Amino acid sequence: MCQLFETIKCSDGKLFNLAWHNLRFNRSRKAYFEIENIVDLNKIISIPENAKNGLFRCRVTYSKTIDKIEFIPHQFREIKKLKLVEDNSIDYRFKYSDREILNKLFAKRSNSDDVLIIKNGLITDTSTANIIFYDEKKWWTPDSPLLPGTQRAKLLTEKKIFKCKITPADLGKFKKAALINAMWDFDTMPVIDIARIKK
């Protein structure tokens, strides 16, 4: 059976953005596995002693049941350059444990640090994060993500970012880009000059 997962930031024994992870976790369980009952991740995640100091990824792998909860030490990856790659058939509406299609696209990054995926002419995500763009006034995120992330949802609700349709031709309207996900927030996200996004 297919497995899905959530990655939750755990820093010094504290779990972050649990409300947003709970929302996606339960929506995915209902949509993909047709499970109606609501589960509160806060009540089932127990942080082990060795994960109470430092930065960890809490990975919750699940199908119709919760299959595994792991705490994995995390180090931020440096992102300085992105390569545009196109895939019009990719489907990552759910956070699948099987990331083969994303890994294949990531392998096309050449001398860049990650790929920025184009689907049907629209900018979507990188292989591991949602992307946001700055036009010197506001931060914008594509309205066509492969997977709407929890950090993205939080920042949209807080009106720190806004969504719009973004094509590769639109990139010149922006000055810089940044990557956001469960581990990368406004304080830690890698920011790159728009000229560092290459075809």
DSSP class per residue in 74-131: --PPP---EEEEE-SS---SS-BS--HHHHHHHTT-TTSSEEEEEETTEEEEESS-EE
pLDDT of residue 72: 98
* CATH code, 176: 3.20.10.10
pTM of the model: 0.95
Q: Identify residue 101 by its one-letter amino acid code.
A: I
Q: Are 107 and 153 members of one domain? A: yes
Last residue of a domain, one of 41, 73, 105: 73
pLDDT of residue 82: 98
Bridge partners (DSSP) of residue 60 are 6, 69
Average pLDDT, the chain: 97
Q: Are 62 and 88 members of one domain? A: no
Q: 167 is in which domain, residue-wise?
A: 82-198
Q: Are 99 and 187 members of one domain? A: yes
Q: d(Cα 144, Cα 192) in Å, to the nearest integer?
A: 21
pLDDT of residue 62: 98
